[in-house]
Amino acid sequence: MASSSLRFAQPTFPNSILKTKTNTFFVSKNVFPTPVPNKGKASNAHAITKLACVNKTTEIAACNQIIGDVNSKLMPLRIGIIGFGNFGQFIAKGLRRQGHFVLATSRSDYSEYCKQNGMQFFRNMDALCEEQPDVILVCSSILSTENIIRSIPIHKLKPDTIFADVLSVRQFPKNLFLEILPPGFGIVCTHPMFGPESGKNGWNGLPFVFEKVRVTDAGTQAEKCTQFLDIFEQEGCQMVEMTCEEHDRHAAGSQFITHTIGRILSHLNLESTPISTKGYKTLLQLTKNTVSDSFDLYYGLFMYNVNATEQASIL
Ligand code: NAP
Distance between start and end Cα atoms, the chain: 72
* C-alpha–C-alpha distance, residues 188 and 173, integer Å: 10
The residue type of 210 is: F
Question: Which numbered atom of ligand 1 lies nearest the CA of 300?
Answer: 34
Q: Encode burial over 244-259: b for 16+ CB neighbours within 10 A, e otherwise.
A: beebbbebbeebbbeb
* C-alpha–C-alpha distance, residues 249 and 189, integer Å: 15
Residue 52 has a pLDDT of 37
pLDDT in tens, 105-147: 999 999 999 999 999 999 999 999 999 999 999 999 999 999 9
* C-alpha–C-alpha distance, residues 3 and 294, integer Å: 56
Quick check: 227 pLDDT over 90? Answer: yes
3-state secondary structure of 307: helix
Residue of 93, 107, 150, 248 best suited for mutating to test ligand 1, as the one with most atoms within 8 Å of CB: 107
Residue range 292-301: mean pLDDT, rounded:
92
How far, in Å, from the CA of 96 to the mean position of ligand 1? 20
pLDDT in tens, 163-216: 999 999 999 999 999 999 999 999 999 999 999 989 999 999 999 999 999 999
* C-alpha–C-alpha distance, residues 277 and 145, integer Å: 41
* C-alpha–C-alpha distance, residues 16 and 249, integer Å: 40
Residue of 81, 82, 84, 86 best suited for mutating to test ligand 1, as the one with most atoms within 8 Å of CB: 86
DSSP summary character for residue 79: E
Axis-axis angle for helices 278-291, 255-266 (nearest 10): 100
* C-alpha–C-alpha distance, residues 81 and 133, integer Å: 9
Residue 66 has a pLDDT of 54
When the pLDDT of each residue in the chain is averaged and rounded to a whole number, the result is 83
Is the CB of residue 139 less than 8 Å from the CB of residue 81?
yes
Residue nearest to atom 40 of ligand 1 (CA): 195
pLDDT in tens, 14-54: 444 444 444 444 443 333 323 333 433 333 333 333 333 34
How far, in Å, from the CA of 309 to the mean position of ligand 1? 22
Residue nearest to atom 31 of ligand 1 (CA): 141
Given 3-state DSSP classes, what are the helix, strand and coil percentages for the chain, each rounded to the nearest 5? 45, 15, 40
Residue range 259-267: mean pLDDT, rounded:
94
Most distant pair of Cα atoms in the chain: their distance: 73
Quick check: 310 pLDDT over 90? Answer: no
Which residues have C-beta within 8 Å of that of residue 205, sequence separation ≥ 6? 236, 237, 238
Residue of 87, 198, 244, 286 best suited for mutating to test ligand 1, as the one with most atoms within 8 Å of CB: 87
* C-alpha–C-alpha distance, residues 183 and 159, integer Å: 9
How far, in Å, from the CA of 88 to the mean position of ligand 1? 7
Alpha-carbon distances of 7 from 16, 23, 59, rounded to whole Å: 14, 20, 12
Is the CB of residue 98 less than 8 Å from the CB of residue 41?
no
Q: Encode burial over 64-93: b for 16+ CB neighbours within 10 A, e otherwise.
A: ebbbebbeeebbbbebbbbbbbbbbbbbbe
Higher pLDDT, 38 or 65: 65
Which pTM value belongs to this model?
0.79
How far, in Å, from the CA of 300 to the mean position of ligand 1? 10
Residues with CB under 6 A from ligand 1: 83-88, 106-108, 139-142, 144, 148, 166-168, 192, 195, 293-294, 296-297
How far, in Å, from the CA of 253 to the mean position of ligand 1? 22
Percent of the chain with pLDDT over 70: 76
How far, in Å, from the CA of 112 to the mean position of ligand 1? 19
Higher pLDDT, 258 or 38: 258
pLDDT in tens, 242-253: 999 999 999 988
Which residues have C-beta within 8 Å of that of residue 269, sequence separation ≥ 6? none
